[in-house]
Amino acid sequence: MADSDQIRIARAREALEGLSVGDAFGELFIRVGSYRAASYIQYRQTPLAMGWMWTDDTNMALSIYQELRQHGAIDQDRLAQSFAAHFEPTRGYGAGAIRLLMNIRQGAPWRQSARTMFGGQGSYGNGGAMRIAPLGAYFADDLTQCADQARLATEVTHAHPEGVAGGVAVALAAAVATRLRGEPTPDRRTFLDLILPHVPESIVREKIRHARELALDASMQLAASVLGNGGQISAQDTVGYCVWCAGEQLANYEEALWLTASAGGDVDTNCAIVGGIVAAHIGMDGIPQSSRDAREPLPNWAL
């Protein structure tokens, strides 16, 4: 039997909190530049004690969360309108996303606009993956529905199969993390084995398989060199590393974020993805209160 809407949305809210704190934490290191970021991360220091600003990852996740809270499922037309209506140029959106959302705001149909991006192949950016963890937590009691709803939520902006696979894979990771609540935390291989069968055939899936195969004592440097770190902003270059990090530190939110940030690359998005997955497993109490207080408040429109 499916869980009640109330139970589902409470889980999604925890993943949203983990995603947004991770996003804002990661953004700190983008802001100071990679050279200074490396020293902060080495000494486990954050560039700011307060005023951590969330970015596009959180803003788009808020639209998904609102859609689930109000309707319990994704309606693509409504979600496209919400993404466009809440678009804020100062939140670090990618150039493609800015063009797409401005087009939708001006009345262009999202399906056509998303498909014509990047010479007609559609986007395979990591923007579908970065915002999806709350949806995974919401549909954790039904992995088939989870994958289906994740595809719907991703297609609105990412028409390329790799972009979609990225969104589906991260939703499944958050769903599996939710299902493992209250159980002994599995090792990374066991965690990824539960996700892999449901991820569509793709480079993203291949990368997750590599993330599974890496030795259990593999270093972050090795993982990032094999899997990527999001530096290319693509789903293929992002999701494998993120699920590796989540699988390494599924029970420890802080350690998971430090590990994730240490590879550089698309740090805010990587930390949003990992923060969302880990919070789906450990819940609100697993996110340090000091980090939650440091993050800029979430806006009322979605909550």
| Min CB(269)–Mg ion separation in Å | 5
Burial classification of residue 33, based on how many CB atoms lie within 10 Å of its CB (0-12 exposed, 13-18 middle, 19 or more buried): exposed
| Min CB(55)–Mg ion separation in Å | 3
d(CA 74, CA 67): 6
Contacts of residues 299-302 at CB distance under 8 Å and 24 or more positions apart, as own/partner, are 299/62, 301/62, 301/66, 301/86, 302/62, 302/63, 302/65, 302/66, 302/69
Q: Whose Cβ is closer to Mg ion: residue 140's or residue 246's?
A: 246
Contacts of 74 by beta carbon, 8 Å cutoff, 6+ apart: 64, 67, 68, 135, 149, 152, 153
Q: Which residue has its beta carbon closest to Mg ion?
A: 55
Beta bridge partners of 52: 295
Question: Phi and psi dihedrals of 48, rounded to 5?
Answer: -130, 145
| Min CB(175)–Mg ion separation in Å | 23
Q: Whose Cβ is closer to Mg ion: residue 55's or residue 103's?
A: 55
| Min CB(179)–Mg ion separation in Å | 28
Q: Whose Cβ is closer to Mg ion: residue 56's or residue 237's?
A: 56
d(CA 118, CA 16): 30
Q: Whose Cβ is closer to Mg ion: residue 54's or residue 253's?
A: 54
| Min CB(56)–Mg ion separation in Å | 4
Q: Whose Cβ is closer to Mg ion: residue 56's or residue 248's?
A: 56
| Min CB(188)–Mg ion separation in Å | 25
Q: How many CB atoms lie within 10 A of CB 131?
A: 33
Q: Which residues bind Mg ion (CB under 5 A)?
A: 55-57, 92, 268
Q: Whose Cβ is closer to Mg ion: residue 91's or residue 179's?
A: 91
Residue 218: which H helix or E strand, with range?
A: none
